[in-house]
Every structure is written in structure tokens, then in C-alpha cells.
């Protein structure tokens, strides 16, 4: 009994490991900034909004990887989707669950159920050079619905580290964001078989034009020229700050 108490006391008095600080680059082109709680990922603009033959570009993703969906994304990343996942883990973030759209094909009207992604909330931004100056912009202000003239940011989208899911193909297990190229969603590609985006978006919107959701196109004067180097910034929105605000609000009510 005495020995047990001594061990417990010794463990209790051991100093906690210091929190990581500064910046590290765990993978080429991927930086974890512990001070700002941000993962930075290098990439480039994969679409050409100035091309005469394709002046209208349909956008379904904020960020893609592996070149799978570079024709419908605002940034194509220079790293693998799993590296983005690992970098977010290095910030101490634990993934929740990816979003998905389930369709019941057994019923005549094929009802659709939209499931929101869960997990730590992230702020999504791009950093790049515009007119000779370094700027940070919200990619959600770069796309719009031409039918209603609604900019995507008007929907107050929120992003969550859902973590994608795994699926087996031909006996091999695949991280679905790798298979689908879906790192940061605008639309949601997950189905009843599992989610596909490493970072999912709400509101959950279908990428299929016949589903009734808006179809999103680039606002061409906001998108930088093709192949412009950009950095995707994924910043943790700390729950502690939210709790502190709630505490202040509660005290004010008292």
C-alpha cells in the first residue's frame, strides 16, 4: 500500500512535457506552426480562369491532392492527403467523422440524408502574392452560384477535421482522400460507404447537379492566374476561446 502511494506521488510530481513551440516541417512543403496553431501546405492554382475556351469553371473543392480533381479545385497541393492529416494530428487535433450524403435507393423517391462532418473546427485561408504583396484571403469568397448571385461565403460555411475514411479496393486499404483527391471540401463526396474529405464543410452540399443544390463557379477576377504558387492555411479554432466567451456571457447575465 505504501509503495503504491509512493509511486502515485512520484508520478503526480513529475513535470508535464513542454508544449511544442515554433515551426517544423514534417513533410516537404508542409509546415506545422505550433504558435499560431496552423498547418501550412504549399500548392498552386490548378485552373485557368482566363482561358478563352473555358471562361466558366465549375468548382467542387477548396483543395485537392494527387491531381485527381485539379480541374474543379481552387488549389492543388504539393503533398499527399495523408500528410495533411498527419500534420493536423501534430497540433493535437483528433479527427471526428467525415460528412456524407446517403441515398436510400430501395425507396421509389430515393430520399437523401445529409450527415455533417464532425471534429475540430478549422479556419481555411490562402496565402499568396497579389500585385506584389503577400495577402491572405478566404477562398469561400472566390466562388458563387450564378443563378442566385450568391457567393459561397454568404452561406457561412464551417470546416471540420473529419479525417476522411478508409475503404478496401482489390484487397488494399485506401485512405479515401487519397483515392478521391478530396482534401478540403466545398461539396461533400462521402456516401453511405464512408466520407471522403480530410477536412469537410458545412452546409453539406452535393456535387451532383441533379441533387437540387447550387452549382458553384469561380469569380474569375478573384482567382489568381493559373499555376500561381499559394499556401493553404488550416488554423485550429480553439474551443477554449469559445468557452471563455460563454463564461463571460454567463457572468454578465448574473
- Residues forming a β-bridge with 194: 191
Contact 93, 254 (CB under 8 A): no
Place of cell 495577402: 135
The closest of 226, 199, 204, 200 to 214, measured between CA atoms, is 204
**132 in a domain, yes or no?**
yes
pLDDT at 189 over 80: yes
CA dist 149 and 146 (Å) reads 5
The closest of 195, 217, 228, 237 to 46, measured between CA atoms, is 228
| Burial (CB count within 10 angstroms: exposed 0-12, middle 13-18, buried 19+), residue 71 | middle
Mean pLDDT of 82-88: 97
pLDDT band at 7 (very low <50, low <70, confident <90, very high): very low
**29 in a domain, yes or no?**
yes
User: What's the grid cell of residue 177?
Assistant: 482522400
What's the pLDDT score for residue 51? Answer: 82
What's the pLDDT score for residue 56? Answer: 84
Count how many domains the chain has. 1
Phi and psi (nearest 5°) for 3?
-60, -40
pLDDT tens, position by position, 90-113: 999 999 999 998 876 666 666 778
**246 in a domain, yes or no?**
no
Place of cell 499555376: 227
Give the least confident one: 158-162, 198-202, 224-228, 240-244.
Answer: 240-244
The closest of 89, 93, 114 to 102, measured between CA atoms, is 114
| Burial (CB count within 10 angstroms: exposed 0-12, middle 13-18, buried 19+), residue 136 | exposed
Say how many CA atoms lie within 13 Å of 38 toward its Cβ: 17
Mean pLDDT of 49-77: 92
What's the pLDDT score for residue 190? Answer: 82
Range of the domain at 130: 21-238
- Cα angle 208, 163, 117 (rounded to 5 degrees) comes to 55
pLDDT band at 209 (very low <50, low <70, confident <90, very high): confident
**10 in a domain, yes or no?**
no
pLDDT band at 224 (very low <50, low <70, confident <90, very high): very high
- Cα angle 127, 129, 130 (rounded to 5 degrees) comes to 110
What's the pLDDT score for residue 3? Answer: 41
User: What's the grid cell of residue 233?
Assistant: 492555411
pLDDT at 130 over 60: yes
**15 in a domain, yes or no?**
no
What's the pLDDT score for residue 241? Answer: 46
Contact 48, 61 (CB under 8 A): no
**189 in a domain, yes or no?**
yes
Amino acid at each position: 500500500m505504501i509503495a503504491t502511494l509512493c509511486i502515485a506521488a512520484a508520478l503526480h510530481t513529475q513535470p508535464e512535457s513542454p508544449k511544442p513551440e515554433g515551426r517544423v516541417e514534417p513533410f516537404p512543403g508542409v509546415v506545422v506552426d505550433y504558435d499560431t496553431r496552423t498547418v501550412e501546405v504549399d500548392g498552386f492554382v490548378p485552373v485557368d480562369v482566363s482561358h478563352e475556351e473555358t471562361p466558366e469553371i465549375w468548382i467542387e473543392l477548396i483543395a485537392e491532392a494527387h491531381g485527381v480533381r485539379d480541374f474543379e479545385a481552387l488549389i492543388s497541393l504539393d503533398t499527399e492527403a495523408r500528410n495533411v492529416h498527419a500534420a493536423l494530428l501534430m497540433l493535437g487535433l483528433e479527427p471526428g467523422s467525415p460528412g456524407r450524403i446517403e441515398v436510400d435507393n430501395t425507396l421509389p423517391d430515393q430520399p437523401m440524408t445529409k450527415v455533417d462532418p464532425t471534429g475540430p473546427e478549422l479556419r481555411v485561408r490562402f496565402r499568396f502574392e497579389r500585385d506584389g504583396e503577400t495577402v491572405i484571403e478566404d477562398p469561400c469568397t472566390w466562388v458563387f452560384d450564378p443563378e442566385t448571385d450568391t457567393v459561397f461565403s454568404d452561406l457561412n460555411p464551417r470546416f471540420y477535421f473529419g479525417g476522411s475514411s478508409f475503404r478496401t479496393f482489390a484487397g488494399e486499404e485506401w485512405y479515401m482522400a487519397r483515392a478521391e483527391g478530396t482534401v478540403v471540401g466545398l461539396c461533400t463526396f462521402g456516401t453511405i460507404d464512408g466520407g471522403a474529405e480530410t477536412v469537410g464543410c458545412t452546409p453539406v452540399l452535393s456535387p451532383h447537379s441533379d441533387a437540387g443544390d447550387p452549382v458553384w463557379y469561380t469569380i474569375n477576377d478573384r482567382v489568381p492566374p493559373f499555376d500561381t504558387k499559394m499556401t493553404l492555411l488550416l488554423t485550429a479554432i480553439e474551443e477554449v476561446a469559445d468557452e471563455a466567451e460563454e463564461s463571460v456571457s454567463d457572468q454578465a447575465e448574473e
